[in-house]
Structure 1
Amino acid sequence: MNTLDAMVEFGHEQVAMYSDPETGLRGIIAIHDTTLGPSCGGTRMWPYESEAEALADALRLSQAMTYKSAAAGLNLGGGKGVIIGDSRTQKTEALLRSWGRFVDTLGGRYLTTTDVGTVGRDLETIRQETQHVVGLDVTLGGSGDTSIMTGLGIYMGMKACASEAWGADSLRGRTVAMQGFGKVASHTAEHLLEEDARVFAADISEGALDRARSMGVQVVGVDEIPGMECDIFAPCALGGVINHKTIKQLRCQIVAGGANNQLATPEDGETLHHRGIIYAPDFLINAGGVINAAAEIGQTYNPERARQQTERIYEKMAEVLATSRKNEMSTAKAANMLAEARLASVRKVRGIYRK
């Protein structure tokens, strides 16, 4: 499939590609939908095996950002930037500044922040070449580390699902199996441990596992975690982990985690529903990061305001669960309806037609 066909399939407005032989930069920015406002999404640096793989990731992730912002009630659209390369060995100041110049050519249609393979210091470097950056350190007037609010939002989503599954939202004594233990998972685990939940984690990084152990999280093998008997399975690494193969392994009542695009296909959401497993749509409960970033756009950042809006993820998740129950549909479909209804209403007001 060529790029234009892929854009039509996913409903994208724009895809921009950039190459800088001097720095080795090869990157893509996908802008999915700007109905609600400028597109916003992190810059991901990953050693993709091909341009096609990088493009597919940018398209999927930017589409998810549209739904994430719409469902969260933000005036932002969906975008995502991807850089083809290994962040551990190929990330340089020159490459990041070149990326910043690329972002700047879009004139504010895309606002970038951190993602897999980029950190706050990288944003400071990118900021040297463009103003269209969110999530800078609070000492620089930004909203800071997006993973803190993301972790809080996931925790709130878990509690809403717990209320649906067990009649009370307490997670005390519940077992949570976390697949991946990066920054977002760590912050989610802090809330879980504070409520006396039992937390298990698997990760390919020894550093992440050391952090887990230091927090009191029990470490298990990466092959063991998908089939582990638990109350909540929390995918917190890369996408596509909920698929026809792994669904058969699941021994949980709830799937709720921080990874983007957890479902390999839309049908996997239906399969979870038919199996009686409650699924917390990823774009709904991991929206804390973009909520936090949005709190600095055009205003002085207020952490309490960002926290209060992130805590409302509980209410959003409860609404999706109620819609799912009432209409006997999957939570994945119910969450999509919530986001699409807001997009449709704003398009109507603005006289925008999209198929």
Structure 2
Amino acid sequence: MRYQNFSLQGQPRDELISLEQIFIECRIHASSRVGLIGFKYFESNHLKNYQNKTDIPAYIADELYEVVDRVNVVNYTAAMTHPTEGLRMVIRSAKEIAFYEYVSNKTSNAVINILKELTPGINELEASRNACYDASPISMFPIVNFGEEHVKLGLRSPDHRTLQDGDMITVCYGLRGSLVARSGFAATGPSALPDEYGDVVEHFYKPYYQALVAWYETLRVGNLYGDSHEKVYSIIGDKDRFGLFLNVGHLISSDEWPNSPVYAGSEIPMLSGHYLQCDIIACSDYPFKQAILEDGLILADDSLRTALQREYPDVFARIQKRRRFMIDTLGINVHEDVLPLSNGQAVMHPYMLDLNTLFSIKE
């Protein structure tokens, strides 16, 4: 049904009928029970009467309350984005995995292309062109930031700021279905790092990578997400030193962060079909430093993996190649349930102008 107030400002309203009338024509009446699906649902510790609170625009809800008693209107968004029950939160087919792997290929290659062409003197906009972006729909605007002033803002569009050897940088690109990000020092080696940071690789980036590896090694269908949180915090939980403030991982879908089951004490189980984003943000001041390594993966049990291998053998082969690299080169003991989608999965360079040097775990 057409409701002309959904049109852009200034477009015709010559055939406008009220939402109230539309609801009535849809046979909603005073005693109906209505579920509203918005962007987020609320829990008991968020709001009073949380079941009846909605984040949809008030002008829509107000029209609905003219027709039906508001106590009978409930927030039904969890049907879409609850970590275990939400329709959008569990992948159920090999075709979905193949789609997300395709998108992740493009996203991770864009970030890799930017990093490969970084050189002192290039500016942020020039670097962004090296990504070879196309017109695929994005889930967030691209981030290419050089220097503490720009990186510290977190979400900033690129401009003409030029890269200096030893600068902190952030590179992030997100398409609908994938996001890849890297943040650290764009330096040619330890001698290029500013003196005030001391041995920042040993005391900040190395523990960060150890925590990231521990996160990956907790992943297995049936494990609890609270265990992933605890593993990371046992290594880099010092707030003054590492400044963790967001969930250490979340679910991802066509939008970048629909929900996160990863938090202290979480008893939410890891399900086959969960599409996870490794998203551990360490950030501390005095002096400012930041580490971000974001890549996506899918948890899949034996039946889902078998279906993927049968229906999309090329996708399955690329995933297995990434797994072998993570295990054999990076030293990360990922379980067979873990299907890495990014071409740079868990790859972290201590000096981001030297892509031949990366962290790995040795026995």
For normalisation by structure 2, the TM-score amounts to 0.25
In our comparison, the structure showing a higher alpha carbon Rg is: 2
- Structure with greater proportional helix content: 1
For normalisation by structure 1, the TM-score amounts to 0.25
